[in-house]
Chain A
Amino acid sequence: MSIQSTSAGTSAIDAAMLDLFAREVAKYPADQAQSAVMACLTIVQKAHGHVSLESEKVIADYLGMPQIAVHEVTTFYNMYNQHPVGKFKLNVCTNLPCQLRDGATALAHLEKKLGIKMGDTTQDGLFTLQQSECLGACADSPVMLVNDRTMCSFMSNEKLDQLIDGLRTASTGEAH
């Protein structure tokens, strides 16, 4: 599975991102900049869609920690994308409370609708579909997290169709 990477130039860590880094570092004691590593990785992922080894190097240098220590964090936490993903990453919870309320059904419906298996990305690079563990929204099941930020609740098959169709339409005409 290969995904087109975002257009050239966007993989750099620019001054605006460094400002965001600085705001995170300021939360911690002066000799504990490493504490900001998770926030910095999240800032990079929001801007680039994933965390590359080059980004890890920049963060490591910025925080004064070994690059491998940054990589340990990227690889330990489930939500960091170590490789490019689709424009919309869909994480559907199928843990037990959700399984009891159609979480697995929602995942199966999306597999059918998108024509891919969980873990894969659509050919057009729009959607990556993943199974996820507990999102902490058990009473809203079926629930789905979109691009790490937006929790979508009570996702019946009908609403899943609306969401996918809506995101497709919203993306049409935008330059890839």
Chain B
Amino acid sequence: MSPDQVLSQFQATGVQTCFHDRHIAPQIYAGLDGTNWRLADYEARGGYSALRKILTEGMTPDQVIAEVKGSGLRGRGGAGFPTGLKWSFMPRQFPGQKYLVCNSDEGEPGTCKDRDILHYNPHIVIEGMAIAAYAMGISVGYNYIHGEIFATYDRFEEALEEARAAGYLGDKIMGSGYNFQLHAAHGFGAYICGEETALLESLEGKKGQPRFKPPFPASFGLYGKPTTINNTETFAAVPWIINNGGPAYLECGKPNNGGTKIYSVSGDVELPGNYEVPMGTPFAKLLELAGGVRKGRQLKAVIPGGSSAPVLPAAIMMECTMDYDSIAKAGSMLGSGAVIVMDDSRSMVESLKRLSYFYMHESCGQCTPCREGTGWLWRVVDRIHNGQGRQTDMDLLNSVADNIQGRTICALGDAAAMPVRAMIKHFRHEFEALIPGYLPKTPVKA
């Protein structure tokens, strides 16, 4: 056997994470089996009918944007910003080049949904981008794909070739006057490039260091031109909306939270994987789909939206529904929809130590509070974990977090600080218990 043959035995098949019957009314993952990612398969599932509808029925760009606005689709990358509203920010009469960018730099710990979309249904993203480009009068786009999933990047290139050959991309698409050139680009190991302006810097061939906002990408984006950036899953939702109408999409979620959402469930569950369910599905139901807490243990805590989202204790989490508003009300954020489940055997100090190491490692070094502060956070949590914590360390952690949050160019600083504050807020006793001779400042109530 060659080395490649050896390695091929260990590659994921998607059966565990994507091709299972535990989705609820899926739209993006519907009908996938791992072999049917090619153009002909996508067309057989009704693919490119939304793009055809727009071009042959003469839907105007304004009508497309109105449909997306009416759908309640919100950005699936983490911020949850209304997609139709974002599209309406693009200057319509701008005389020069405008760009469309897909953020497939999926590196938020816990998140692996876009990988399965791109690997098993790449054309849905291409169609979504072509529709978005039409709506905003954009003729060139890039899909920036996480460098760690290189096989998926290679496959996306193949899918692009198929779409070009079939006339879904390129000049005079489907015989219309509309042109759209779409290309794939890749990262190579920098979490920060998931931040949209860092991604633009990276696309320009530079270090991925975020830019000040404003100006926002809609006025000053790629190469200084107006640019719209959306997440992979956001684009993947668009064809369904055009085919079925915005109101139908909104209806399958809940008010202000339209559609289905893919949750990447990882950690202490029996069946980790991606689960596409309607927005507003109770967390308890999602946990059940994932087989429940593994080994019959009790749920202790959940990070509901990727590692940057504040942790929530089990009791709070079990009352939440999985949508932007419910999770925000509970004090965390839905983020990318990465649900990291922790059982009652887990040390929160150890968990925070690993997360703090990550943010220290991935800070781009541009802003002092983040560059220095993330190192402080890790060193202090590390010494607490090693039993060498000091009386003042709990205050010190909060102080360092305070001095990072809100004081940096991009949200990585906030993402490093928020988990610390949430862990201390909900699990302070675990930290204190590891500090030798810790004396609480206020008497502990019985």
Contacts and interface: CB of A to CB of B under 8 A. Distances in A.
Interface of A: 27-29, 32, 34-39, 41-42, 63, 65, 69, 72-73, 76-80, 88, 94-97, 99-101, 132-141, 145-146, 148-155, 159, 162-163, 166-167, 169-171
Contacts of B307: 95-97, 134
6 contacts: A38-B185, A76-B190, A76-B364, A80-B188, A95-B355, A170-B6
B107 A34 contact: no
Contacts of A99: 350-351, 354
B7 A163 contact: yes
Contacts of A88: 3
A152 B12 CA distance: 7
Contacts of B204: 32, 34-35
A138 B362 CA distance: 18
Given A139-B272, A140-B112, A159-B10, A95 B185 contact: no
Contacts of A162: 9
**What is the predominant secondary structure among interface residues of chain B facing chain A?**
mixed
Given A95-B355, A135-B149, 5 more contacts: A96-B355, A101-B267, A133-B361, A134-B111, A153-B10
Contacts of B346: 100
Interface of B: 1-12, 16-17, 97, 106-112, 114-115, 142, 146-151, 183-191, 202-208, 223, 264-268, 272-274, 303, 307, 338, 340-342, 346, 350-351, 354-355, 358, 361-362, 364
A136 B112 contact: yes
Contacts of A73: 205-207
A152 B115 contact: no
B267 A100 contact: yes
Nearest to A149: B150
A29 B139 CA distance: 12
Contact of A79 (B111, B114, B147, B350): B147
A82 to B, nearest CB: 13
- Across the A-B interface, the 8 shortest Cβ-Cβ residue pairs: A78-B189, A79-B189, A34-B205, A166-B6, A152-B10, A97-B266, A153-B12, A139-B272
A153 B7 CA distance: 10
B274 A139 contact: yes
Contacts of A28: 183
A42 B354 contact: no
Given A72-B206, A151-B12, A38 B266 contact: no
A29 B140 CA distance: 10
Contact of A32 (B16, B17, B223, B350): B223
Contacts of A32: 204-205, 223
Nearest to B350: A99
Contacts of B264: 138-139
B338 A95 contact: no
